[in-house]
Structure 1
């Protein structure tokens, strides 16, 4: 009975979404305040019924209701309760219901936290989000019903959750990733609403910018957690595959990065208005494309859920409607609202333009590499594989090209600047950066590494440029502390995010260049030396977990004759499915990780295939990502988003009324 109640709640949420995408939009067109005022209440109702539906599916998993097909296919009575909870979204149907819930959360958040928006603007924004909700709820109900029953013939037990997904990372990775994915629907909705109203100005950008920053922050954290999960769970020590499904989340991130910088220019100077709208459409369209790639069956990946072409066709049609309709509206409206503001080539605006171009080109290169094999296969031209060599060859130079401009940007002035001022401001950062690039690689044993030196040069340029700008901003204050306190959260957010990007670059390059890996056959009692650490193999013993049995190897790691750590990697066999999985053992640290993974038993003398890794600075990649997300969250706290609401409300009211009359 509970699953049927959840199914009914989802149907009611769909009905409310249909009302949300029609009645308030009609009210905005006709100037009917009563119809427009329904939008916030409808958004709250959608969240209530979506949450009820999700709670009912969660109940089915927690109660081992194997009469529900998705529970029988993705859970088991031996599964620990926390994995039963994460199994709710560890499948196609449940993850789609999570998507719907997250979309309802974003829609309700806009309705509740935007009371100062003019009613006509709020009605249009919520109507667009309601339309997106209709698409995904119809997708769930008509092609991917999470409450389908197995009656009669209910199995005694379930087939178990994929062992790869029985991990803490799965509990938090998909919700954060979806918060970012779906969050770009808010920027998309604001863009479409502004086009419908026929007015793109600083007020529109100011209202859209906080939502975009929050969505980008969640997506950053989601991608970071996916990389971290791949590193320790798959057993080979890699942290990024350039897998098509990984690219599916990375492409919206790249487009979203361009969008938040373009919004800054639109808000500050009224520039790039049409371009900013196009980026908002592009970022959300890439989110929908990622959904198609994961759920269409065109890809084979550990991340992919569905293999039913009918589901892929539904998403493809919906993607065509969203993208096609948005671009038609853009073509009709954008020429009338294009920017008329000029700027010099030496200015902050020009640097933001370079930022936009580089991130867009990076997005298109990743998009091409992701879709090319699918396109060639669809055309009957054979199987092609586009892997890390292509992506590294085209993506890395683009990021290297971007970073010099990142060091100059914060120090630059709006509208017009001069090369002589740039030289004066950047002389000290340039000297400090060059000294770091020349000396720091010498701290590592072995030959001088030019790639690491280049990474330090570029990252140091960004960091020292930010520090010089910070020093300039507090120079005239009565004290350093007073100067720091008067800086706006938006500045601190930019500062932390740029430093985080530099930290990530250091982590990626140093790990890639100085990583040491040994794949070898080891028997108990033997040892191997790696990067000055001695890994001594003690023995193998059997252990039992809540739903698996495992062979566990015990190692002691020594450095200069002193014990550093004891590590115990495992080779697990899950009881319900019989799947065999590797559980790596990792000793993590700020400057290095020691990584051990078990392969298969070799021969009859108790030997095992063992993989040893020494990974310097690998944690810096994820620490930098956390800093980038933190910077985006801090930016949202800026007072001007509250202080200037009156001006924004007046401007938007004028535009909204004229748009409604039109």
Structure 2
């Protein structure tokens, strides 16, 4: 009965979404404030119904209701509770329901936090959100119903893919979806502004916190997936340029560009059309990722196999949303006049360069991801676009971006002085060059690109520190420098942390990729193997019983000289439902790098000695990836907590209030621009 309640709640959610997509536009056309206000109620109603449906599906998984086909296909009574819950979204149907839940939650958040937005604009944006919800609810109800019953009920379930039975993968999809779907708000605001025919500084202020929220979740979600690949797959890698990894990376690149572009709209009333296009493209990339994963056109450890009908539906929906929004953009964007002019050397120009490079890289990743699909579809042959292509593009496009990120914050708005910025950064440039040349000398000239990467990382981190010192006037009045720093807006600190985090990530990538030590060998108890400066000794292998798997666990002692520095216990697991073998790497993080061990299957030996295939690594500085990402997320959270970036708050300059929430319902979202202070 509970499953039927969930199914009926989805039908009601669809009806509310249809009403929410149509009635606000009618209200705007008639000038009827009460009908426009229905957009808020429809959004809250949709969220309520989708919560009921999601709770019903969760109940079916937690109680192992094997009369529900989805539970049978993705659960088992022996599964731990965490993975019963994560099994709700560890499949095609449930993950789409999670998508709709998050979409409804963001729409309700706009209705709640956006009370200060002009009613006309809020109604437009919520109507767009509802229209997106209509498409996904139709898709779920007609092609991917999670509440289909079995009669009679199955005696037992088939279990969840063991690769997904991991804490990192339990939280990775919700985090990633919060980023994907969060960009729908930026998209809805862009479409509302295009319909209204006006983009102001206030619009940029409204869209930035929602984009920043999505960016934070995307950053955290991508990192969780990368961390999972690093320790769960046992390959010692953290990014493989898998098409589904690329599908999450493209919206992140577009969202990063959008965040910076919106600053120019807010401060200088420029780049309006470009910023609207970025908002459309960022969400379009999110929908494209959904198509790639759900349509079955890709074979990936991340992808869910689907029937062709689902792929056709998603492709049609993608064409309507993306094609329709681009047609609207082509029609309305030329009428959006740009405002303030700026010089070639200015902070605006640095942000434009940032946008060009990020967008170019996103385009390269898009081409590299889709090209094999088109070749297979139209040329009846198969090709693979591998990591060398993407890595070359990243070096060519991201290297100048790193340089620009170091210089841009030191340039003035409208017309800056490059000489002043370079004067501040000259010591940083000298240190970065020395660092790169020193590494080149230490490696006898064999690691040119590693030296370049190291120099760029030192440059960016040093540039952030130099900017902090210049802002605090550290060398002019050192006694008051700390006070100046801590009186700065949190958004400024957020920028420093995020940019510094990129530098730390670059350090981690550079050293881990260039100086990883790896040994693949066969070992018996008591054998040792040298990996870099460390010695691994296999102490023994013993069976281990888990809640729904059997495993063998190896024990390694790791020595630095004669000193024991770590004990590692990797496992080789075999799950029963479904039958699948997985590896559980053992990792000991150190300041210098990670000690990493994987144990595989028993190897045949003629003398009867039990031997095991093992994979041992020392990965220097790889913790910089996770630490740098943590700095980026913290920087985003600090910026989001800044009072000037509170969602929906229209704070003007000090002493001058922003527009009233009851602003006239004219042709645009507000009657006059509001310039921010960020």
- 2:675 maps to which residue? none
Q: Is contact 2:461-2:504 (8 Å) kept?
A: no
- 2:676 maps to which residue? none
Q: Is contact 2:534-2:559 (8 Å) kept?
A: yes
Inter-partner Cα distance in structure 2 for 1:589 and 1:113 = 43
Matched, 1:433 2:440: no
How many Å apart are 1:89 and its aligned residue? 0.5
How many Å apart are 1:20 and its aligned residue? 0.9
Q: Against the structure 1 CA distance between its residues 306 and 652, is the aligned structure 2 distance closer, same or farther, given a 3 Å change threshold?
A: farther
TM-score with structure 1 length normalisation? 0.96
- 1:555 maps to which residue? 556
How many Å apart are 1:306 and its aligned residue? 3.1
- 2:132 maps to which residue? 132
- The correspondence for 2:667, drawn from 644, 655, 658, is 658
Inter-partner Cα distance in structure 2 for 1:278 and 1:660 = 18
Deviation per CA, 1:240-287, whole angstroms, max 9, x where unpaired?
A: 010000000000001111110100111111110000000000000000
- 1:510 maps to which residue? 511
- 1:145 maps to which residue? 145
Say which is worse superposed, 72-81 or 7-16, in terms of deviation. 7-16
- 2:49 maps to which residue? 49
**3-state secondary structure, aligned to 2:150:** coil
Deviation per CA, 1:263-314, whole angstroms, max 9, x where unpaired?
A: 0111111110000000000000000000000000000011001321111111
Q: Is contact 1:585-1:595 (8 Å) kept?
A: yes
- 1:158 maps to which residue? 157
How many Å apart are 1:479 and its aligned residue? 1.4
- 2:486 maps to which residue? 485
CA-based RMSD of the aligned residues comes to: 1.9
- 1:269 maps to which residue? 268
**3-state secondary structure, aligned to 2:667:** helix
State how 1:60-139 maps to structure 2 within 5 Å. Answer: 60-139=60-139
Matched, 1:473 2:471: yes
Q: Against the structure 1 CA distance between its residues 648 and 124, is the aligned structure 2 distance closer, same or farther, given a 3 Å change threshold?
A: farther
Matched, 1:634 2:643: no
**3-state secondary structure, aligned to 1:610:** strand
Inter-partner Cα distance in structure 2 for 1:167 and 1:650 = 49
Deviation per CA, 1:509-566, whole angstroms, max 9, x where unpaired?
A: 1110011111111112211011121111122111100011111112111111121121
Deviation per CA, 1:115-165, whole angstroms, max 9, x where unpaired?
A: 11010011011111111111111111110000011113x211100100000
Q: Is contact 2:121-2:668 (8 Å) kept?
A: no
The count of corresponding residues between Structure 1 and Structure 2 is 658
**Unmatched runs of 5 consecutive residues or more in structure 1:** none
**3-state secondary structure, aligned to 1:658:** coil
Q: Against the structure 1 CA distance between its residues 9 and 588, is the aligned structure 2 distance closer, same or farther, given a 3 Å change threshold?
A: same
Say which is worse superposed, 310-319 or 642-651, in terms of deviation. 642-651
**Unmatched runs of 5 consecutive residues or more in structure 2:** 671-678
Inter-partner Cα distance in structure 2 for 1:456 and 1:167 = 34
State how 1:377-396 maps to structure 2 within 5 Å. Answer: 377-396=376-395
TM-score with structure 2 length normalisation? 0.94
**3-state secondary structure, aligned to 1:586:** strand
Q: Is contact 1:523-1:607 (8 Å) kept?
A: yes
Deviation per CA, 1:395-430, whole angstroms, max 9, x where unpaired?
A: 222111211111100100111122322332222222
Inter-partner Cα distance in structure 2 for 1:29 and 1:636 = 35
- 1:300 maps to which residue? 299
Matched, 1:542 2:546: no
State how 1:160-179 maps to structure 2 within 5 Å. Answer: 160-179=159-178
Matched, 1:644 2:651: yes
Q: Is contact 2:193-2:668 (8 Å) kept?
A: no
Deviation per CA, 1:166-194, whole angstroms, max 9, x where unpaired?
A: 00012211111000000000000110111
Q: Is contact 1:184-1:212 (8 Å) kept?
A: yes
Say which is worse superposed, 621-630 or 474-483, in terms of deviation. 474-483
How many Å apart are 1:447 and its aligned residue? 7.2
Inter-partner Cα distance in structure 2 for 1:557 and 1:407 = 40
**3-state secondary structure, aligned to 1:241:** coil
Q: Against the structure 1 CA distance between its residues 447 and 545, is the aligned structure 2 distance closer, same or farther, given a 3 Å change threshold?
A: farther
